[in-house]
Each structure stands twice: as C-alpha cells, then as structure tokens.
Amino acid sequence: MATDLYSEKIMTHYADAYQKLYNRAPRDLRALDHEWVVVNGARMRVTELEYLTRQLQQEYTQGLEQKRNLVTRLVKWFKG
C-alpha cells in the first residue's frame, strides 16, 4: 500500500511538472502496478518517472531563469 502511495505521489509530481513546462496535461499517465507506470504511451519504472520529473522541473526552472535574465537586461537597456 505504501508503495502505491509512493507511485501516486510521483505521478502527481510528474503531472504538475509537465503541466508547468508544456501548459497541458500529459496524454496518458497511469499506474500498472506498484513498480510500473505508463507515461504518454511509454511503460517505465516509477524510479525512471521520478528521474524524468526532476529533469522536467530543472528544465522549467532554467526557462524561468532565462526569462528573468532577459527581462533584467531589457530593463537595464531601457534605463540606458
């Protein structure tokens, strides 16, 4: 039971990260059992999904940082 809760938690984190990055929900996200999930049609282990989630979160954070840097440069340029 605890492992099932862990899988659900990882899937929820993945769905949140995917939504933030791509502005849409993942097409297919479901648990097959306590160790395997299906993500966008691909079967993977929960540990792999956890790693993929960290990558999505990192990509999202990098995108935000790039936008922030761009805005800062524009503000400095306009201030002249």
Q: What is the pLDDT of residue 34?
A: 87
**Closest of 48, 10, 60 to residue 30, by C-alpha:** 10
Q: 41-69: per-residue pLDDT in tens? A: 999 999 999 999 999 999 999 999 999 99
Would you state the pLDDT for residue 69?
Answer: 95
Domain positions in the chain: 2-79
Reply yes or no on whether the pLDDT at 3 is more than 80: no
- pLDDT on residue 73: 94
DSSP 75: H
Q: What does the alpha-carbon distance between residue 4 and residue 26 come to, in Å, rounded to a whole number?
A: 20
Render pLDDT for 12-40 as a digit per residue (tens, 0 to 9): 999 999 999 999 999 899 999 889 999 99
User: How many residues would you count in the chain?
Assistant: 80
Distance CA 21, CA 5 (A): 24
